[in-house]
Amino acid sequence: MSTSGGGRTRPTLVGTVLDGRYRVGAVIARGGMSTVYRGMDLRLDRPVAIKVMKSSFASDPSFLTRFEREARTAAGLAHRGVVAVYDQGRDGDIVFLVMELVDGGTLRDLMRQSGALSVPVTLSILEPLLAALGAAHAGGLVHRDVKPENVLISSKGEVKVADFGLVRAISSQTMATGDVILGTVAYLSPEQVSTGASDPRSDVYSAGIVAYEMLTGHTPYLGDNAISVAYQHVHSDVPPVTDDAPGVPVELDDLILAATRRDPFARPRDASAFLSALVSMRARLGLARAVVPVPRVAAPAGRPTGTAGRSAATSIRTPAQQTRLTDHPTVGPAGPTGTRMVPGVGAGTVDLRSAVPPEPDQPGPIVRRRTPSRLRRWLIVAVIVLLLGTAAAVGGWWLGSGRWAYAPAVVNVEQQKAETLVRNAGLVPHVSTEPSDTVPQGTVAGSRPATGARMLRGSEVDLVVSTGRPVVPAITAGSTVAQAVLTIKDADLNPVYGEATDEYSSTVPVGAVITTDPPPDTTLPLAADVTIVRSKGPAPVPVPDVAGKAGDDAKNALIVAGFTVAADKDVFDPDVDPGSITGTDPAAGQLVPAGSAVALVVATSLEVPVVRGESLDAAAADLRRSGFVVTVGPSAYDGDVDGGLVIGTDPAAGVRVDPANPAVTLTGSNAVSVPDVTRGNVQQAKDQLSALGLQTAVSAMFGASGSSVIGQDPSAGSRVEPGSTVRVSAFP
């Protein structure tokens, strides 16, 4: 028989089959709300973990509704770092949840066997923990009970987060009832303790506490009971990890401190943001990854929160002893120093109401004592009365005015003295800094709350300490203007810049920052202007005159002057020979930044060759080979050139033309060579001359067609214009 949380008993479930599907095996662990069994899914033939709720909860309709809703919510969270929820159901009066079975152990087991963990191992556990929580936060879920018992390490070294059974949608109610806080006190965030509210930043806080414990081997707050630990969460800052673990990198220490700020808005917004900062820090520091050790305590780890039996997660330690708040319920009295768990509150819950020590179950052995003398008896009574009176007085004082303190006057007081005044008033100083034009450096410029304000003892007083007037920060030469602007603004000064203040620099790229005006370390009033001096690049130098130089000489002259030589620039110039260097681009004497590219200006032209007397076809071919574009114009008469031959060009021979427009027009001769017509008669002469486009005039006493031609003018071989008249003389 097994005992349920409500005090009733039910037959053992081992060997039974729930819902016709899940065979119940051995008990893995017991908790305040449930018992977890190893089981077998008969339908899928796979091992599972079965969480069976105690019968006192199973009969509560509102609890069942919330349980089913939370089971569906958890089942929808699919992530390799989260223990999967497979099913939930009810078999008669048995309410159960079916989960992934993870063989291995918990982070608590690992720390119990190894103590404080190394930085690489800590990061290798913390990163998958945050990844799993980040997936939950992205889905609108909050775990609310992050602790080493809920961080499982499989036999393969995989890290998984268990017990999302208490997870609720962020939009739903997140406040426990009465004065009972859901969760494990050593890892609760201040807002969970003070208001019961929780959001993703609450999980970030708890994960930060887990990281602190991995690196130091203990949680940050120690106390005689849960209430004192909860009080410290609300009223004290988590100390630096490096106080107990000097080898931890400062960057990691700062990140854990940021995650465990008392103000939720000062923490990373969710686990994904915490993880992103952690991964960036690891990359910056080059921290190696490590294989996560598998705990030697090989208990099956498919258990949710509160199923771990006795757990160091709720250990509250003092210098002389260690008092554990067990995660499982105590049936009957816990002994004279025990603490009863509140029925109906989940595993890991802490009852903040005072526990009444129960009577012992069995009377102690009878011990004979010597009867004290009457004087001794009266002394004892007197001491007891005195102690009771003192306790009553102190209690009355505390319940009356004793728990209150008043903020002291600390404005214009030196910081160290101001902190002493605050502590002497029963309060805690919290120092922040800001510049001031009027308050000397190291002196309190203001405080919150105001002087005389009534506060609970142990509350914080914010001291705003002056850092004096701002100082111009050092800006590294070559920084971007955007970087300089941010740095100057962070120093509470006003950055300005413009072309009028830009300077040349041979070492700082164009547009980058050279320096500031005033220079670094100059003390200025608040919000004073600081000019950012930007680089205009190297100072300009004049281009040398290389006109008329040979090509190599001209290039060397440019290189010596600090320029690079660009491709030549061809420019038509009819007055110099082609290939001559006539100048540069930019022109000689022009101021150009050193290192700029300068092109040599090279004269280019085409000279029209002499083709007079050549045939039109031959002349055209010669010109085209020289790069000219040739057209043939109308012919003209030239008595010195036979018809069909070139008499000239346009442009004329010897003229230089632009290669970009190399057009040349050929003019051919239309002269007609007069034939010899004196060997035939007049009619034959006419026919011969007419065929050449010439006219015939007969000058003879006898001009009959059959008359013989005895003379002609012009003479044979003469060149005449087309249509000219040839006069012939005939004889009968």
Q: Which residues are catalytic?
A: 145
Are 330 and 340 in contact, with CB atoms under 8 Å apart? yes
Rounded (5°) CA angle 596-601-605: 160
End-to-end CA distance of the chain: 169
Query: Which residue type, as a one-letter code, is found at position 485?
Result: V
Give me Rg for the CA atoms of the chain: 53
Backbone phi, psi, residue 624, to 5°? -65, -40
CA distance 145 to 307: 13
Q: Counting every residue, how long is the chain?
A: 732
Encoded tokens for 722: 């087309």
Residue-by-residue DSSP string for 378-408: HHHHHHHHHHHHHHHHHHHHIIIIITEEE--
Query: Which residue type, as a one-letter code, is found at position 436?
Result: S
Q: Which of 213, 246, 28 is nearest to 114 (CA)?
A: 213
Residue-by-residue DSSP string for 225-279: SHHHHHHHHHHSPPPPGGGT-TTS-HHHHHHHHHHT-SSGGGS-SSHHHHHHHHH
Q: How far from chain centre, in Å, is Cα 95? A: 46
Report the SS3 class of residue 579.
Answer: coil
Are 23 and 40 in contact, with CB atoms under 8 Å apart? yes
CA distance 185 to 173: 20
Q: If residue 281 lies in a helix (H) or strand (E), which one and from where to where? A: helix 271-285
Non-local CB neighbours of 31 within 8 Å, separated by 6+ positions: 303, 304, 305, 306, 307, 308, 327, 328, 329, 346, 347
Backbone phi, psi, residue 25, to 5°? -110, -150
Are 711 and 679 in contact, with CB atoms under 8 Å apart? no
CA distance 336 to 426: 34
Are 107 and 210 in contact, with CB atoms under 8 Å apart? yes
What is the rounded (10 degree) CA torsion for 88, 89, 95, 99? -30
Report the SS3 class of residue 374.
Answer: helix
Query: Secondary structure of the chain: what % helix, strand, coil (to 5)?
Result: 25, 25, 45
Strands (E), 586-722: 591-593, 597-604, 606-607, 629-632, 646-650, 656-657, 663-668, 672-673, 695-698, 708-713, 719-720
CA distance 612 to 547: 36
Maximum distance among all Cα pairs of the chain, rounded to whole angstroms: 202
Buried/exposed code over 56-68 (b: 16+ C-beta within 10 A; e: otherwise): bbbeeeebeeebe
